[in-house]
Chain A
Amino acid sequence: MDLNKLDDIFKEGLEGYSQQPSKGLWKKVSGGLLRYEISHFNFTNLPKLWIGVAAASIVAVSLIIFNPLTNNTADNAIITATEKESPGIESSQANQSISIPTETETDSKQSITGTPNSLESRKAELSSIIEEKIISVDPSTENQFGDITHSVVKPPSFEDESAINPGENTDKQQNFDQSKIATTIVAAAAAVNKVSPEPGKIQTKLINEQGEVEISEMESRQANLSTEEKNREVNEIFVSPQPTILVSSFDRSDHESGKIQRMHSLSYSFGQFFKGKYKAPKRRFNEKSSALYKGNTPYYSIAAYFSPELTEYARTASTSKELSYIAGVALSYNNSRFMVEGGVELSYSDDVGDYMVDMQTFDSIGYYNEVGGFVPDPDNPGSVIFETNMVPVYDSVQHNLHQQTQNQYTYLQFPLMVGYQAMESGIFSAYIKAGPSFSFLLNRQEQNIEFYDPDATINQIENYTPTRRNTSIQVLVSVSMKFQLSEKMGFMVEPTYRYYLKSVYDNNNSSLKNPYGIGVRGGLYFDL
């Protein structure tokens, strides 16, 4: 046979010859690629945009969820979140109205802060604040101080002007609403008073920072004290017939806020996943496995995950952000770039219970400086040195305390999502998913408030906690980022956004914002 003819026979016969490979060959090819990619994996090889998006979203969501400053979860029963003053109570004016030397101002603050848990403790606290005041007095008026027995309690509404311009001050006093004057008691340390020539009035001499003597008059009222302070050498104390009381920042909230902060400053550790250097898994690949990268071949995948989620609940009176913990499993059907996923989740959610405690406590409402004696100032002829003692003033004060308890709710949830593979690069892939989630309330643990204060008389405790619905529907949106660790399994990180289509509370207030939550799913998935 001619050699050229032989060549032609084969060329003609086999040129362009094709044959379909076995079905499993693509799995072998993709498995080989996967092995290579895992063994040569490097974060820097991943698409920087997606890695940036993934890292930023994970960090942002983690910060939002785990930042203790944004977490206002109340702890068990007796946690005072806020104290609402009774109508007419003006807080912190005492400090604002002080126009006296700094030293005295400091004392004033000391005397009006803290918790008046008991009378004895108040006395102990305040008796320590005893000072000697050096007051310059005009010699011509020295004889007026002969019968001085106590110092002045200055109404706060006089404020600075009363100390600076006695003339105006006197005018103002006359027009001043007595109810405001009365018991809005503040510190007025370096002060001297004398009994006013008019009955029922006290003329006051105040020494301002420039050393000038200022005189003011004010209405006096018989002190309505019910404590042993009555027995002290007090001529008169200004007490309003209408108990409009200045309770300066003295309530429990300051004291409790530190406690609350400590309780909420739990640090959560997150982001440990990426600390170590990535090492390619030493795994033997089974080339006959049916679970390699499937390419366009449909396949199933099952995932188990855990997700902390921060949910913002809008309520009639307040908005609270509470943590939920969700554990779930999901089965997904993947076909080409699309996937459908259904799952079952158990959600353990926290929420606060709201209570309003209406009570009365016997509080310090201010103080006055009792003059114990005086001696001539040897260094400053014509001046005397007064020895004064701060004496607290107490009265019954009505409080409305907002108390919160922590409630727990357990839900069974069924998320159903569809997803699209937005990108894939080697062992990294990202899906955008969305779909509804149906929640059914399995269990609720709502604590009753147990409020006890030995110094308080409780009038009423009202429960403002809204009732939770038994079912709810949410819309879930997430970006699932998957890292293939081996031919069959990998791990996923999935920031999620959950929007509730209705309030979880059983109320008809449609103006309330629907709750929403953000979380981060982390888990493992297995290709079947």
Chain B
Amino acid sequence: MSEGDKKIIEGCINGNRHAQNKLYNRYAASMLGLCMRYAKSKEEAEDILQEGFIKVFLNIERFRAEGSFEGWMKRIMINTAITHNKQNLKHQYQTDINEIEEIHVVDEGLQDDVSMVKIPRAKLMSIIQSLPEGYKMVFNLYVFEQFTHKEIAEMLEISINTSKSQLSKARRLLTTKIERETGSKNIVIT
């Protein structure tokens, strides 16, 4: 951790609003990217981000600088996202795949290679966001955060089998969506 980061963190521990503002400016964009994967929309992601930053500032004195500060923040954001969505999880896990609305992915790339299709990252994000909450949670935690099913089950207070099932369904749904957009062509992410 750089000296600058240490000073900022010290300022945040002392409740210095300017230091908090600096920390926010440094990490807000990347943390919003994380929150976007757990939310349906940017507005919801910002709600999670807001709540998460408040938790970060109120608990920053607990950070012991043994690991990455960004990793510590990410964990708080993920937990916040989980808490944020928990009240709807029960309903969301029961969402049928047929109820999911269609995502219209527009291929913006010029098809230089007929065997390749370009997908912007924002399109990928919107595909993730379109997943039912339960699928999205499990998929994010398993694929991006690399938690085990056991850990996911504990975090989401579901069974391990449910976690596996949700992941399987999420993958199937995503495959369908991707194939619908790209056919069997190779994907290039732009």
Contact = CB atoms under 8 A, between A and B. Distances in A.
Given A17-B121, A20-B32, A37-B15, A12 B189 contact: yes
Interface string A1-38: 10100110111111111111110011011101100110
Interface residues of B toward A: which range?
35 or more
Nearest to B43: A22
Contact of B18 (A6, A9, A424): A424
A144 interface: no
Contact of A19 (B14, B36, B51, B143): B36
A67 interface: no
Interface residues of A toward B: which range?
35 or more
B37 interface: yes
Nearest to A9: B187
B175 A14 contact: no
Interface stretch (B1-9, B21-29, B102-110, B152-160): B21-29
Contact of A20 (B17, B29, B139): B29
A337 interface: yes
B42 interface: yes
A293 interface: yes
Contact of A11 (B18, B50, B144): B144
Contact of B175 (A1, A30, A32, A33): A1
A426 B19 CA distance: 11
Given A13-B121, A295-B18, A25 B46 contact: yes
Contacts of A425: 14-16
B97 to A, nearest CB: 16
A295 B28 CA distance: 14
Nearest to A32: B54
Determine which residue in B15, B34, B42, B179 has the highest number of CB atoms from chain A within 10 A of its CB, and name it: B15
A17 B49 contact: no
Given A22-B46, A29-B53, A33-B20, A16 B33 contact: yes
B20 A32 contact: no
A30 B33 contact: no
Contacts of B33: 14, 16-19
Contacts of A16: 30, 33
A33 B30 CA distance: 21
A336 interface: yes
Contact of A424 (B17, B24, B58): B17
A109 B56 CA distance: 80
B78 interface: no
A28 B108 CA distance: 35
Contact of B50 (A25, A36, A47): A25
A67 to B, nearest CB: 36
A336 B18 contact: yes
B119 to A, nearest CB: 7
Nearest to A426: B15
A295 B24 CA distance: 10
Contact of B143 (A11, A21, A337): A11
Interface in B135-154: 139, 143-144
A29 B144 contact: no
A318 interface: no
Contacts of B28: 20-21, 25-26
Nearest to A24: B46
A14 B38 CA distance: 12
B174 A10 contact: yes
B17 A26 contact: no
A14 B42 CA distance: 15
B82 interface: no
B58 A9 contact: no
A14 B121 CA distance: 6
A18 B29 contact: yes
A175 interface: no
Contacts of A14: 33, 37, 121, 124-125, 128, 144
B50 A32 contact: yes
B8 to A, nearest CB: 12
B167 to A, nearest CB: 9
Nearest to A28: B50
Nearest to A425: B15
Contacts of B22: 296
A26 B58 contact: no
B140 to A, nearest CB: 9
Contacts of B16: 423-425
Nearest to A292: B17
A441 B21 CA distance: 45
B121 A33 contact: no
A421 B46 CA distance: 30
Nearest to B184: A1
Nearest to A2: B175
Contact of A26 (B21, B139, B171): B21
A22 B35 CA distance: 14
Interface string B151-190: 0000000000000000000010011001100000001010
A21 B73 CA distance: 16
Nearest to A29: B53
13 contacts: A1-B175, A3-B175, A7-B171, A17-B121, A18-B32, A19-B42, A21-B28, A26-B24, A26-B28, A30-B20, A295-B18, A424-B18, A425-B16
Interface of A: 1, 3, 6-7, 9-22, 25-26, 28-30, 32-33, 36-37, 47, 293, 295-296, 336-337, 421, 423-426, 429
* 4 nearest CB pairs, A to B: A295-B21, A17-B33, A18-B29, A13-B124
Given A20-B32, A29-B20, A47-B14, 12 more contacts: A6-B171, A9-B124, A10-B174, A17-B37, A17-B125, A21-B28, A21-B49, A33-B20, A36-B58, A293-B17, A295-B21, A336-B18
Interface of B: 14-18, 20-22, 24-25, 28-30, 32-34, 36-37, 42, 46, 49-51, 53-54, 57-58, 119, 121, 124-125, 128, 139, 143-144, 171, 174-175, 178-179, 187, 189
